[in-house]
Structure 1
Amino acid sequence: MNKHRPYIFLLALFCGLFIAAPAFAQTTPTTTPVDSDGITGIWIGVLQQIEGGTRAAYPFVMVLTQAETGSDVEGTSFIALPDSPSQYAAIALTGSLAGGRFDFAESEVVSQNADELRWCIKRGTLLLNGEELSGAWQGDQTCVPGLISLTRVSEQTSLETIVENELVSGIWVGSLYQDDGGGYPFAMVLSQAGSGDSVQGTSFIALPDDPSTYAAIALDGSISEDQFTFTETEIVAEADSKPFSWCLKNGALTRDGQVLSGTWQGDNTCESGSVVLVRLV
Protein backbone atom coordinates (compact mmCIF):
# COMPACT_ATOMS: atom_id res chain seq x y z
CA MET A 1 0.00 0.00 0.00
CA ASN A 2 1.30 3.48 -0.80
CA LYS A 3 0.49 6.78 0.85
CA HIS A 4 -2.54 7.27 -1.32
CA ARG A 5 -4.29 4.44 0.52
CA PRO A 6 -6.03 4.79 3.88
CA TYR A 7 -3.97 4.18 6.99
CA ILE A 8 -6.10 3.25 9.89
CA PHE A 9 -5.24 2.87 13.43
CA LEU A 10 -4.83 -0.63 14.53
CA LEU A 11 -4.09 -0.86 18.06
CA ALA A 12 -6.67 0.98 19.69
CA LEU A 13 -9.38 -0.88 20.85
CA PHE A 14 -11.16 -3.51 18.64
CA CYS A 15 -13.34 -5.60 20.86
CA GLY A 16 -16.92 -6.30 21.65
CA LEU A 17 -18.79 -8.27 19.17
CA PHE A 18 -22.43 -8.72 18.70
CA ILE A 19 -24.19 -11.94 19.24
CA ALA A 20 -24.94 -13.08 15.74
CA ALA A 21 -24.59 -16.05 13.44
CA PRO A 22 -23.64 -19.62 14.33
CA ALA A 23 -20.41 -20.34 16.16
CA PHE A 24 -17.34 -21.57 14.36
CA ALA A 25 -14.51 -23.71 15.71
CA GLN A 26 -12.01 -21.76 17.80
CA THR A 27 -8.62 -21.01 16.29
CA THR A 28 -5.72 -22.09 18.51
CA PRO A 29 -2.76 -19.71 18.96
CA THR A 30 0.44 -21.03 17.43
CA THR A 31 2.97 -18.52 18.79
CA THR A 32 5.24 -19.75 21.59
CA PRO A 33 4.60 -17.82 24.84
CA VAL A 34 7.38 -15.53 26.05
CA ASP A 35 7.89 -14.91 29.77
CA SER A 36 7.42 -11.30 30.83
CA ASP A 37 7.69 -9.14 33.92
CA GLY A 38 3.91 -8.83 33.92
CA ILE A 39 0.80 -7.88 32.02
CA THR A 40 -0.30 -4.75 33.89
CA GLY A 41 -1.07 -1.86 31.57
CA ILE A 42 -3.25 -0.51 28.80
CA TRP A 43 -3.39 -2.69 25.70
CA ILE A 44 -4.82 -1.40 22.44
CA GLY A 45 -5.52 -3.20 19.21
CA VAL A 46 -8.03 -5.10 17.14
CA LEU A 47 -10.58 -7.81 17.71
CA GLN A 48 -11.47 -9.83 14.63
CA GLN A 49 -14.29 -12.21 13.78
CA ILE A 50 -13.84 -15.00 11.28
CA GLU A 51 -16.12 -15.32 8.26
CA GLY A 52 -19.75 -15.00 9.27
CA GLY A 53 -19.26 -12.32 11.91
CA THR A 54 -21.18 -9.06 12.08
CA ARG A 55 -18.01 -7.03 11.40
CA ALA A 56 -14.55 -8.14 10.29
CA ALA A 57 -12.65 -6.07 12.89
CA TYR A 58 -13.41 -3.86 15.88
CA PRO A 59 -11.40 -1.35 17.94
CA PHE A 60 -10.52 -3.20 21.15
CA VAL A 61 -8.78 -2.28 24.41
CA MET A 62 -7.89 -4.11 27.59
CA VAL A 63 -6.92 -2.33 30.80
CA LEU A 64 -5.26 -4.98 33.00
CA THR A 65 -3.89 -5.08 36.56
CA GLN A 66 -1.91 -8.10 37.72
CA ALA A 67 -1.69 -8.92 41.43
CA GLU A 68 1.63 -7.87 43.02
CA THR A 69 2.23 -11.49 43.93
CA GLY A 70 0.71 -14.35 41.99
CA SER A 71 -0.85 -14.75 38.58
CA ASP A 72 -4.33 -13.28 39.10
CA VAL A 73 -5.40 -10.48 36.74
CA GLU A 74 -8.39 -8.14 36.85
CA GLY A 75 -9.44 -5.58 34.29
CA THR A 76 -11.87 -4.12 31.81
CA SER A 77 -12.20 -4.48 28.06
CA PHE A 78 -13.57 -1.74 25.81
CA ILE A 79 -15.17 -2.16 22.44
CA ALA A 80 -16.64 0.15 19.80
CA LEU A 81 -18.27 -0.28 16.42
CA PRO A 82 -15.80 0.66 13.67
CA ASP A 83 -18.50 2.35 11.59
CA SER A 84 -20.29 3.96 14.56
CA PRO A 85 -17.73 4.51 17.34
CA SER A 86 -20.18 6.32 19.61
CA GLN A 87 -21.69 2.88 20.22
CA TYR A 88 -19.41 1.08 22.66
CA ALA A 89 -19.30 -1.04 25.81
CA ALA A 90 -17.02 -1.60 28.80
CA ILE A 91 -16.91 -5.21 30.03
CA ALA A 92 -15.39 -6.49 33.30
CA LEU A 93 -12.94 -9.39 33.07
CA THR A 94 -10.73 -11.63 35.18
CA GLY A 95 -7.86 -13.88 34.20
CA SER A 96 -4.50 -15.39 35.03
CA LEU A 97 -1.00 -15.13 33.58
CA ALA A 98 1.35 -18.11 33.69
CA GLY A 99 4.39 -18.75 31.53
CA GLY A 100 3.45 -16.07 29.02
CA ARG A 101 -0.08 -17.44 28.62
CA PHE A 102 -2.99 -15.14 29.56
CA ASP A 103 -6.33 -16.88 30.04
CA PHE A 104 -9.24 -14.46 30.46
CA ALA A 105 -13.01 -14.45 30.79
CA GLU A 106 -15.32 -11.45 30.59
CA SER A 107 -18.16 -11.44 33.11
CA GLU A 108 -20.58 -8.53 32.62
CA VAL A 109 -21.13 -5.26 30.78
CA VAL A 110 -20.44 -2.46 33.28
CA SER A 111 -21.29 0.47 30.99
CA GLN A 112 -22.39 0.99 27.41
CA ASN A 113 -23.77 3.48 24.95
CA ALA A 114 -25.64 0.99 22.82
CA ASP A 115 -28.62 -0.26 24.79
CA GLU A 116 -30.24 -1.86 21.76
CA LEU A 117 -27.21 -4.09 21.16
CA ARG A 118 -26.35 -7.33 22.93
CA TRP A 119 -22.60 -7.67 23.27
CA CYS A 120 -20.77 -10.98 23.27
CA ILE A 121 -19.23 -11.96 26.61
CA LYS A 122 -15.89 -13.40 25.57
CA ARG A 123 -13.21 -15.72 26.89
CA GLY A 124 -9.91 -16.73 25.37
CA THR A 125 -6.19 -17.38 25.57
CA LEU A 126 -3.67 -14.72 24.55
CA LEU A 127 0.09 -15.21 24.32
CA LEU A 128 2.35 -12.51 25.78
CA ASN A 129 5.37 -11.70 23.62
CA GLY A 130 7.14 -8.61 24.92
CA GLU A 131 4.74 -5.74 24.41
CA GLU A 132 2.28 -7.73 22.29
CA LEU A 133 -0.71 -9.91 23.21
CA SER A 134 -2.39 -12.10 20.62
CA GLY A 135 -4.53 -15.19 20.41
CA ALA A 136 -8.01 -16.59 19.97
CA TRP A 137 -11.33 -15.74 21.63
CA GLN A 138 -14.79 -17.25 21.67
CA GLY A 139 -18.19 -16.47 23.14
CA ASP A 140 -21.34 -18.50 23.59
CA GLN A 141 -22.84 -20.58 20.81
CA THR A 142 -24.41 -17.57 19.09
CA CYS A 143 -21.13 -15.61 18.81
CA VAL A 144 -18.78 -16.00 15.87
CA PRO A 145 -15.25 -16.40 17.33
CA GLY A 146 -12.02 -14.88 16.10
CA LEU A 147 -8.65 -13.41 17.03
CA ILE A 148 -7.34 -10.57 19.20
CA SER A 149 -4.13 -8.59 18.54
CA LEU A 150 -3.03 -5.97 21.10
CA THR A 151 -0.01 -3.80 21.89
CA ARG A 152 0.80 -2.33 25.32
CA VAL A 153 0.86 1.46 25.21
CA SER A 154 1.16 2.17 28.93
CA GLU A 155 2.28 0.27 32.04
CA GLN A 156 0.17 2.41 34.36
CA THR A 157 -1.73 0.47 37.00
CA SER A 158 -4.59 2.97 37.23
CA LEU A 159 -6.58 4.95 34.71
CA GLU A 160 -7.04 7.83 37.16
CA THR A 161 -3.73 9.42 36.20
CA ILE A 162 -4.85 9.47 32.59
CA VAL A 163 -8.35 10.86 33.06
CA GLU A 164 -7.72 13.34 35.89
CA ASN A 165 -8.16 16.18 33.40
CA GLU A 166 -11.70 16.32 32.06
CA LEU A 167 -10.92 17.87 28.65
CA VAL A 168 -9.10 15.39 26.41
CA SER A 169 -7.03 13.09 28.65
CA GLY A 170 -8.00 9.47 28.16
CA ILE A 171 -8.37 6.69 25.62
CA TRP A 172 -10.28 7.67 22.49
CA VAL A 173 -11.36 5.03 19.99
CA GLY A 174 -13.19 5.22 16.71
CA SER A 175 -12.61 5.51 12.99
CA LEU A 176 -10.37 7.41 10.61
CA TYR A 177 -11.67 8.14 7.14
CA GLN A 178 -9.95 9.23 3.94
CA ASP A 179 -11.74 11.24 1.30
CA ASP A 180 -11.05 8.55 -1.29
CA GLY A 181 -11.93 5.52 0.84
CA GLY A 182 -13.81 3.96 3.74
CA GLY A 183 -13.29 4.01 7.47
CA TYR A 184 -10.52 2.35 9.46
CA PRO A 185 -10.16 1.62 13.18
CA PHE A 186 -8.25 4.46 14.88
CA ALA A 187 -7.33 5.38 18.46
CA MET A 188 -5.56 8.02 20.51
CA VAL A 189 -4.20 7.85 24.05
CA LEU A 190 -3.94 11.45 25.28
CA SER A 191 -2.58 13.09 28.43
CA GLN A 192 -3.09 16.77 29.18
CA ALA A 193 -0.40 18.57 31.19
CA GLY A 194 -2.18 19.53 34.40
CA SER A 195 -4.21 22.70 34.05
CA GLY A 196 -2.35 23.82 30.92
CA ASP A 197 -3.39 23.42 27.31
CA SER A 198 -0.47 21.21 26.21
CA VAL A 199 -1.31 17.63 25.22
CA GLN A 200 0.95 14.67 24.49
CA GLY A 201 0.00 11.22 23.36
CA THR A 202 0.13 8.39 20.89
CA SER A 203 -2.10 7.43 17.99
CA PHE A 204 -2.47 3.87 16.79
CA ILE A 205 -3.28 2.68 13.31
CA ALA A 206 -3.54 -0.64 11.51
CA LEU A 207 -4.97 -2.15 8.40
CA PRO A 208 -8.47 -3.50 9.14
CA ASP A 209 -7.95 -6.54 6.93
CA ASP A 210 -4.43 -7.20 8.30
CA PRO A 211 -4.11 -5.98 11.93
CA SER A 212 -0.57 -7.32 12.19
CA THR A 213 0.36 -4.35 9.98
CA TYR A 214 0.20 -1.41 12.37
CA ALA A 215 1.99 1.65 13.71
CA ALA A 216 2.10 3.64 16.93
CA ILE A 217 2.80 7.33 16.29
CA ALA A 218 3.80 9.98 18.85
CA LEU A 219 1.85 13.23 18.76
CA ASP A 220 1.80 16.69 20.32
CA GLY A 221 -1.23 18.93 20.60
CA SER A 222 -3.10 21.62 22.46
CA ILE A 223 -6.64 22.10 23.75
CA SER A 224 -8.42 25.46 23.84
CA GLU A 225 -11.94 25.24 25.19
CA ASP A 226 -13.36 22.43 23.04
CA GLN A 227 -10.90 22.70 20.12
CA PHE A 228 -8.11 20.09 20.01
CA THR A 229 -5.33 20.48 17.45
CA PHE A 230 -2.65 17.81 17.00
CA THR A 231 0.44 16.97 14.99
CA GLU A 232 1.95 13.51 14.72
CA THR A 233 5.74 13.70 15.02
CA GLU A 234 7.34 10.28 14.61
CA ILE A 235 6.60 6.57 14.37
CA VAL A 236 7.58 4.90 17.64
CA ALA A 237 6.60 1.32 16.76
CA GLU A 238 5.42 -0.51 13.66
CA ALA A 239 5.20 -3.90 12.00
CA ASP A 240 8.53 -5.17 10.73
CA SER A 241 7.50 -5.40 7.09
CA LYS A 242 5.01 -3.44 5.01
CA PRO A 243 4.82 -2.34 1.36
CA PHE A 244 4.15 1.35 2.11
CA SER A 245 4.98 4.28 4.40
CA TRP A 246 2.60 5.58 7.07
CA CYS A 247 1.22 9.10 6.82
CA LEU A 248 2.12 11.54 9.59
CA LYS A 249 -1.06 13.50 10.20
CA ASN A 250 -2.16 16.79 11.69
CA GLY A 251 -5.67 17.96 12.33
CA ALA A 252 -8.27 19.94 14.24
CA LEU A 253 -10.91 18.11 16.27
CA THR A 254 -13.88 19.45 18.21
CA ARG A 255 -14.78 17.95 21.58
CA ASP A 256 -18.51 17.47 22.21
CA GLY A 257 -18.83 15.70 25.53
CA GLN A 258 -17.24 12.28 25.08
CA VAL A 259 -16.84 12.63 21.29
CA LEU A 260 -13.93 14.09 19.29
CA SER A 261 -14.50 14.73 15.59
CA GLY A 262 -12.99 16.80 12.83
CA THR A 263 -10.62 16.74 9.88
CA TRP A 264 -7.03 15.68 9.31
CA GLN A 265 -4.44 16.03 6.57
CA GLY A 266 -0.97 14.70 5.84
CA ASP A 267 1.75 15.68 3.40
CA ASN A 268 1.17 16.14 -0.32
CA THR A 269 1.14 12.39 -0.99
CA CYS A 270 -1.58 11.59 1.60
CA GLU A 271 -5.29 11.88 1.01
CA SER A 272 -6.93 13.97 3.74
CA GLY A 273 -10.07 12.96 5.60
CA SER A 274 -11.99 12.98 8.86
CA VAL A 275 -11.82 11.39 12.32
CA VAL A 276 -14.57 10.39 14.76
CA LEU A 277 -13.56 9.17 18.24
CA VAL A 278 -15.35 8.41 21.51
CA ARG A 279 -13.65 8.52 24.92
CA LEU A 280 -13.83 5.12 26.58
CA VAL A 281 -12.00 6.15 29.76
Structure 2
Amino acid sequence: MRAIDLFAGAGGFSTGAAMAGCQVVWAGNHWQAAVDAHAINHPGTLHACQDLQQQDWTQVPQHDLLLASPACQGHSPARGKEKAHHDALRSTAWAVVSAAECHRPAVFVVENVPAFAAWTLYPAWCAAMNALGYALAPMVLDAADHGVPQHRLRLFIVGTRSAHPITLDLPRAAMATAADVIDFSAGRWSAIDKPGRSCNTLARIAAGRLRHGHRFVAPYYGSGSGETGRSLHRPLGTITTRDRWSVIDGDRMRMLTAEECRAAMGFPAGYHLPADHKTAVHMLGNAVCPPQARDLIHALRAAA
Protein backbone atom coordinates (compact mmCIF):
# COMPACT_ATOMS: atom_id res chain seq x y z
CA MET A 1 0.00 0.00 0.00
CA ARG A 2 1.36 3.40 -1.01
CA ALA A 3 0.67 6.30 1.33
CA ILE A 4 1.19 10.06 1.49
CA ASP A 5 1.38 12.11 4.69
CA LEU A 6 -0.01 15.66 4.82
CA PHE A 7 1.13 17.94 7.67
CA ALA A 8 3.63 15.20 8.40
CA GLY A 9 5.46 16.99 11.22
CA ALA A 10 7.71 14.69 13.21
CA GLY A 11 6.44 11.71 11.22
CA GLY A 12 4.17 9.81 13.57
CA PHE A 13 1.66 8.92 10.86
CA SER A 14 4.46 7.95 8.48
CA THR A 15 6.21 5.83 11.10
CA GLY A 16 2.98 4.02 11.99
CA ALA A 17 2.28 3.43 8.29
CA ALA A 18 5.76 1.98 7.83
CA MET A 19 5.20 -0.27 10.86
CA ALA A 20 2.06 -1.52 9.11
CA GLY A 21 4.00 -2.32 5.95
CA CYS A 22 3.07 0.75 3.88
CA GLN A 23 5.42 2.62 1.58
CA VAL A 24 5.22 6.33 2.38
CA VAL A 25 5.95 7.87 -1.00
CA TRP A 26 5.46 11.58 -0.18
CA ALA A 27 5.28 13.80 2.88
CA GLY A 28 4.61 17.51 3.14
CA ASN A 29 4.81 20.13 5.85
CA HIS A 30 5.22 23.90 5.99
CA TRP A 31 8.01 23.87 8.62
CA GLN A 32 11.51 23.21 7.27
CA ALA A 33 12.81 21.84 10.58
CA ALA A 34 10.03 19.22 10.59
CA VAL A 35 10.67 18.32 6.95
CA ASP A 36 14.39 17.90 7.69
CA ALA A 37 13.70 15.64 10.67
CA HIS A 38 11.17 13.60 8.69
CA ALA A 39 13.64 13.18 5.82
CA ILE A 40 16.34 11.80 8.12
CA ASN A 41 13.94 9.19 9.51
CA HIS A 42 12.23 8.42 6.18
CA PRO A 43 14.96 8.81 3.54
CA GLY A 44 13.02 6.90 0.87
CA THR A 45 10.14 9.41 0.94
CA LEU A 46 9.80 12.43 -1.34
CA HIS A 47 9.48 15.60 0.72
CA ALA A 48 7.92 19.02 0.18
CA CYS A 49 8.30 22.06 2.41
CA GLN A 50 5.16 23.85 1.37
CA ASP A 51 1.99 25.58 2.54
CA LEU A 52 -0.22 22.64 1.63
CA GLN A 53 -3.12 24.90 0.78
CA GLN A 54 -0.94 26.03 -2.14
CA GLN A 55 0.27 22.53 -3.09
CA ASP A 56 -0.02 21.37 -6.70
CA TRP A 57 -1.46 17.93 -6.03
CA THR A 58 -0.77 16.77 -9.58
CA GLN A 59 2.91 16.71 -8.59
CA VAL A 60 2.29 14.25 -5.75
CA PRO A 61 2.78 10.51 -6.50
CA GLN A 62 -0.20 8.22 -6.87
CA HIS A 63 -1.19 6.52 -3.63
CA ASP A 64 -3.77 4.25 -2.02
CA LEU A 65 -3.87 5.88 1.40
CA LEU A 66 -3.94 9.55 2.36
CA LEU A 67 -2.88 10.38 5.91
CA ALA A 68 -3.35 13.90 7.26
CA SER A 69 -3.05 15.80 10.54
CA PRO A 70 -4.23 19.34 9.77
CA ALA A 71 -3.54 22.01 12.37
CA CYS A 72 -5.38 21.40 15.64
CA GLN A 73 -4.59 24.69 17.39
CA GLY A 74 -7.68 26.44 16.07
CA HIS A 75 -9.92 23.68 17.43
CA SER A 76 -8.39 22.90 20.83
CA PRO A 77 -10.54 23.93 23.81
CA ALA A 78 -7.33 25.19 25.41
CA ARG A 79 -7.38 27.98 22.85
CA GLY A 80 -10.81 29.26 23.88
CA LYS A 81 -13.63 30.13 21.53
CA GLU A 82 -13.18 30.40 17.78
CA LYS A 83 -11.21 33.53 16.95
CA ALA A 84 -10.35 35.21 13.69
CA HIS A 85 -6.62 34.58 14.02
CA HIS A 86 -7.31 30.83 14.10
CA ASP A 87 -9.14 30.86 10.77
CA ALA A 88 -5.94 30.13 8.83
CA LEU A 89 -5.17 27.17 11.11
CA ARG A 90 -8.64 25.66 10.86
CA SER A 91 -8.69 26.13 7.10
CA THR A 92 -5.74 23.75 6.66
CA ALA A 93 -8.32 20.92 6.74
CA TRP A 94 -9.49 22.00 3.29
CA ALA A 95 -6.12 20.97 1.85
CA VAL A 96 -7.15 17.38 2.59
CA VAL A 97 -10.25 17.87 0.44
CA SER A 98 -8.15 19.26 -2.42
CA ALA A 99 -5.70 16.36 -2.25
CA ALA A 100 -8.50 13.79 -2.16
CA GLU A 101 -10.29 15.44 -5.06
CA CYS A 102 -7.15 15.27 -7.20
CA HIS A 103 -6.12 11.68 -6.48
CA ARG A 104 -9.25 9.94 -5.15
CA PRO A 105 -7.30 7.44 -3.02
CA ALA A 106 -9.17 4.38 -1.80
CA VAL A 107 -8.85 5.44 1.85
CA PHE A 108 -7.95 8.50 3.87
CA VAL A 109 -7.37 8.91 7.61
CA VAL A 110 -7.47 12.35 9.23
CA GLU A 111 -6.32 12.92 12.81
CA ASN A 112 -7.18 15.89 15.01
CA VAL A 113 -8.38 16.84 18.48
CA PRO A 114 -11.95 15.72 19.27
CA ALA A 115 -13.08 19.38 19.17
CA PHE A 116 -12.47 19.32 15.39
CA ALA A 117 -15.98 17.82 15.16
CA ALA A 118 -17.39 20.95 16.85
CA TRP A 119 -15.89 23.27 14.20
CA THR A 120 -18.57 25.42 12.59
CA LEU A 121 -17.54 24.18 9.15
CA TYR A 122 -17.12 20.53 10.10
CA PRO A 123 -20.49 19.56 8.52
CA ALA A 124 -19.47 21.34 5.31
CA TRP A 125 -16.08 19.59 5.37
CA CYS A 126 -17.79 16.21 5.78
CA ALA A 127 -20.23 17.09 2.99
CA ALA A 128 -17.31 17.89 0.69
CA MET A 129 -15.76 14.49 1.40
CA ASN A 130 -19.13 12.79 0.88
CA ALA A 131 -19.43 14.58 -2.46
CA LEU A 132 -16.12 13.00 -3.49
CA GLY A 133 -17.59 9.57 -2.81
CA TYR A 134 -16.27 8.90 0.69
CA ALA A 135 -18.22 7.37 3.55
CA LEU A 136 -16.88 8.72 6.84
CA ALA A 137 -16.28 6.79 10.05
CA PRO A 138 -15.21 9.18 12.84
CA MET A 139 -13.89 7.64 16.05
CA VAL A 140 -12.25 9.04 19.19
CA LEU A 141 -9.39 6.82 20.30
CA ASP A 142 -7.07 6.84 23.32
CA ALA A 143 -3.41 6.17 22.56
CA ALA A 144 -3.14 4.23 25.84
CA ASP A 145 -5.34 1.52 24.33
CA HIS A 146 -2.65 0.94 21.71
CA GLY A 147 0.21 0.31 24.14
CA VAL A 148 1.36 3.94 24.24
CA PRO A 149 2.28 5.05 27.80
CA GLN A 150 0.09 8.14 27.53
CA HIS A 151 -3.60 8.97 27.71
CA ARG A 152 -4.17 10.95 24.51
CA LEU A 153 -7.67 11.28 23.08
CA ARG A 154 -7.73 12.07 19.39
CA LEU A 155 -10.37 12.04 16.67
CA PHE A 156 -9.60 9.81 13.69
CA ILE A 157 -11.83 10.13 10.64
CA VAL A 158 -11.58 7.18 8.27
CA GLY A 159 -12.92 7.81 4.78
CA THR A 160 -13.55 4.95 2.36
CA ARG A 161 -14.93 4.91 -1.16
CA SER A 162 -17.80 2.66 -0.13
CA ALA A 163 -21.56 2.83 0.24
CA HIS A 164 -21.38 2.74 4.03
CA PRO A 165 -18.81 3.77 6.68
CA ILE A 166 -16.27 1.09 7.47
CA THR A 167 -16.31 -0.76 10.80
CA LEU A 168 -12.90 -1.47 12.26
CA ASP A 169 -11.96 -4.14 14.77
CA LEU A 170 -9.22 -2.39 16.72
CA PRO A 171 -7.10 -4.36 19.20
CA ARG A 172 -6.66 -3.20 22.78
CA ALA A 173 -3.07 -3.54 23.91
CA ALA A 174 -1.75 -4.09 27.41
CA MET A 175 -1.33 -0.83 29.28
CA ALA A 176 2.11 0.79 29.29
CA THR A 177 2.98 3.17 32.12
CA ALA A 178 5.06 6.24 32.89
CA ALA A 179 7.56 3.97 34.65
CA ASP A 180 8.25 2.30 31.30
CA VAL A 181 9.69 5.50 29.81
CA ILE A 182 11.27 7.45 32.69
CA ASP A 183 15.01 7.08 33.26
CA PHE A 184 15.89 8.35 36.73
CA SER A 185 19.59 8.45 35.82
CA ALA A 186 18.97 10.93 32.97
CA GLY A 187 18.05 14.58 32.69
CA ARG A 188 18.93 17.77 34.53
CA TRP A 189 17.69 17.67 38.10
CA SER A 190 17.21 20.54 40.53
CA ALA A 191 16.34 20.74 44.21
CA ILE A 192 12.62 20.95 44.88
CA ASP A 193 13.08 23.40 47.74
CA LYS A 194 15.38 25.80 45.87
CA PRO A 195 14.81 29.56 46.31
CA GLY A 196 12.16 30.97 44.01
CA ARG A 197 10.21 27.75 43.55
CA SER A 198 6.51 28.53 43.11
CA CYS A 199 4.30 28.00 46.16
CA ASN A 200 1.74 26.32 43.89
CA THR A 201 4.39 23.89 42.63
CA LEU A 202 5.46 23.07 46.18
CA ALA A 203 1.83 22.49 47.19
CA ARG A 204 1.24 20.12 44.26
CA ILE A 205 4.39 18.17 45.10
CA ALA A 206 3.42 17.92 48.77
CA ALA A 207 0.00 16.57 47.80
CA GLY A 208 1.61 14.14 45.39
CA ARG A 209 3.94 12.80 48.05
CA LEU A 210 1.00 12.04 50.32
CA ARG A 211 -0.75 10.18 47.52
CA HIS A 212 2.09 8.47 45.63
CA GLY A 213 5.23 8.42 47.78
CA HIS A 214 8.60 9.91 46.84
CA ARG A 215 8.48 9.12 43.09
CA PHE A 216 5.71 10.32 40.78
CA VAL A 217 5.00 12.76 37.96
CA ALA A 218 3.04 16.00 38.06
CA PRO A 219 1.92 18.51 35.43
CA TYR A 220 3.79 21.80 35.58
CA TYR A 221 0.81 23.68 34.17
CA GLY A 222 -2.80 23.07 33.15
CA SER A 223 -5.33 20.55 34.36
CA GLY A 224 -5.24 16.78 34.73
CA SER A 225 -3.58 15.41 37.90
CA GLY A 226 -2.75 19.03 38.72
CA GLU A 227 -3.48 18.84 42.45
CA THR A 228 -2.40 15.29 43.24
CA GLY A 229 0.27 14.28 40.74
CA ARG A 230 0.10 10.98 38.91
CA SER A 231 1.37 7.52 39.78
CA LEU A 232 4.23 6.07 37.74
CA HIS A 233 2.13 2.92 37.45
CA ARG A 234 -0.37 4.47 35.03
CA PRO A 235 0.11 6.17 31.65
CA LEU A 236 1.18 9.79 31.49
CA GLY A 237 -1.30 12.48 30.60
CA THR A 238 -1.13 14.08 27.17
CA ILE A 239 2.30 15.08 25.89
CA THR A 240 1.98 18.68 24.70
CA THR A 241 4.06 20.97 22.51
CA ARG A 242 5.94 22.42 25.47
CA ASP A 243 7.38 20.90 28.63
CA ARG A 244 4.50 19.87 30.83
CA TRP A 245 5.31 16.80 32.92
CA SER A 246 7.74 17.04 35.82
CA VAL A 247 9.36 13.99 37.40
CA ILE A 248 9.59 14.00 41.18
CA ASP A 249 12.24 11.86 42.89
CA GLY A 250 12.59 12.49 46.60
CA ASP A 251 13.95 16.02 47.08
CA ARG A 252 14.75 16.60 43.40
CA MET A 253 12.74 17.21 40.24
CA ARG A 254 13.10 17.76 36.50
CA MET A 255 11.01 17.90 33.35
CA LEU A 256 10.72 14.93 30.99
CA THR A 257 13.57 14.72 28.53
CA ALA A 258 12.91 14.82 24.78
CA GLU A 259 13.86 11.14 24.65
CA GLU A 260 11.29 10.29 27.32
CA CYS A 261 8.66 12.29 25.43
CA ARG A 262 9.59 10.34 22.30
CA ALA A 263 9.06 7.05 24.14
CA ALA A 264 5.81 8.35 25.65
CA MET A 265 4.55 9.07 22.12
CA GLY A 266 5.39 5.53 20.99
CA PHE A 267 8.22 6.40 18.59
CA PRO A 268 11.08 3.88 18.21
CA ALA A 269 14.08 4.44 20.47
CA GLY A 270 16.40 5.29 17.59
CA TYR A 271 14.07 7.82 15.97
CA HIS A 272 16.00 10.99 15.15
CA LEU A 273 14.93 14.20 16.89
CA PRO A 274 16.20 17.77 16.47
CA ALA A 275 19.05 18.56 18.84
CA ASP A 276 17.21 21.53 20.31
CA HIS A 277 15.02 20.30 23.19
CA LYS A 278 12.27 22.88 22.71
CA THR A 279 11.96 22.09 18.99
CA ALA A 280 11.94 18.34 19.58
CA VAL A 281 9.21 18.57 22.25
CA HIS A 282 7.12 20.88 20.05
CA MET A 283 7.25 18.37 17.17
CA LEU A 284 6.44 15.43 19.42
CA GLY A 285 3.51 17.20 21.06
CA ASN A 286 1.94 17.75 17.63
CA ALA A 287 2.60 14.22 16.37
CA VAL A 288 0.42 11.17 15.83
CA CYS A 289 1.36 8.21 18.04
CA PRO A 290 2.87 5.65 15.61
CA PRO A 291 1.37 2.53 17.27
CA GLN A 292 -2.10 4.06 16.94
CA ALA A 293 -1.57 4.71 13.23
CA ARG A 294 -0.16 1.18 12.80
CA ASP A 295 -3.18 -0.44 14.44
CA LEU A 296 -5.63 1.63 12.39
CA ILE A 297 -3.96 0.67 9.13
CA HIS A 298 -3.79 -3.00 10.09
CA ALA A 299 -7.51 -2.87 10.91
CA LEU A 300 -8.26 -1.15 7.60
CA ARG A 301 -6.49 -3.94 5.73
CA ALA A 302 -8.33 -6.61 7.68
CA ALA A 303 -11.70 -4.96 6.94
CA ALA A 304 -11.01 -4.44 3.23
TMscore range, shorter length? under 0.3
In the superposition, the TM-score normalised over structure 1's length comes to 0.28
Structure number with the higher strand fraction is: 1
Higher-Rg structure is 2
Greater RCO between the two (CA within 8 Å, min separation 6)?
A: 1
